[in-house]
Amino acid sequence: MSSARVSLGDVLWRFEREAIQGTCDTGRYRCPYYTWGDGPPLLFIHGLSDDARSCTLAISLLSRHFRCIAYDLPKGRDDGARLGRYRHADLVADLFALLDYLGERQAYLFASSFGATIALAALRQQPERLPRAILQGGFAHRPLAPAEILLARLARWWPGPMRWLPLRRRMLHYSHHGPFAGREPAVWEFFLQRCGSPPMAAVARRAVLLHQLDLRSTLAAIRQPVLLLCGEADPLVDRKCEEVLLRGLPNVVRVELENCGHLPFYSHPETLAEVTCRFLLPSACASSCV
């Protein structure tokens, strides 16, 4: 895999011509997805306020080795999802419904942040279908602070997308912009666009689910190899969250990305793709990932 930095314009151009987009009815919502590339299936699960296209830069590289599959979690706009009735177990069931729809008996997982909780539950539920997984900025238990949970409960009823939040752009620049240094400015704008598009109500309901979730007691039952991909300067998931996974998962390794925060899909896609390829297909990718 080349070490040269990918160009956002080239990636988006390729996406429109190479990715195959579709919709899967999971029985709970109409799930938009896309596939890109050929090879062993690699399913991406995005984070709290991301969407399927958040991982486009890294997928453009990984599509050379995998059939990459990315999908949107339920948003409740036009997808038919009844978000008030959604439980975490439904999100896990949707994952398997999508794999069934695509005819994939097995798949690797790459899950980011909140998506890692879906991956952990899925790994335990059907281990024969999910042989390996990468958790980026992941956790098994991360309760919200009192102010955060109050805001999330109120925001369940707010209309509009995340970009309507007051002072959002300034807060994101303060907490996340540093690791983007050296990348083309368009990548930062792409990040703002992607994380600004999900509905506030959907993100808030995911946050409430996150607050209620505790998967620590289930970790010992997950026997598959798991890679923790951690940012050196992650402002959202601290080392305590990582230690829970390192102690609880029987077959786990950790890789730390230097000068990286919580958003390697945007800020470090080349390194992310190389580490992913080496962990999931060490023999096949040994020469081409250098």
Q: How confident is the model over 138-184, as pLDDT tens digits? A: 999 999 999 999 999 999 999 999 988 877 788 888 778 888 988 99
pLDDT at 23: 98
With contact defined as beta carbons under 8 Å apart, do 148 and 207 qualify? yes
The one-letter amino acid at 209: L
Q: How far apart are CA 60 and CA 43, in angstroms?
A: 14
What is the end-to-end Cα distance of the chain in Å, rounded? 6
CB-side neighbour CA atoms (13 Å) of 26? 25
Q: How far apart are CA 283 and CA 19, in angstroms?
A: 26
pLDDT at 170: 82
Between the alpha carbon of residue 73 and those of residues 46, 69, 137, 158, 224, the distances in Å are: 8, 13, 18, 18, 24
Nearest one of 85, 10, 69, 60 to 35, comparing CA atoms = 69
- Domains of the chain (ranges; CATH) run 8-141+215-280 (3.40.50.1820)
pTM greater than 0.85: yes
pLDDT at 286: 46
pLDDT at 270: 96
In the predicted model, residues of the chain with pLDDT beneath 50 are 1-2, 286-287, 290
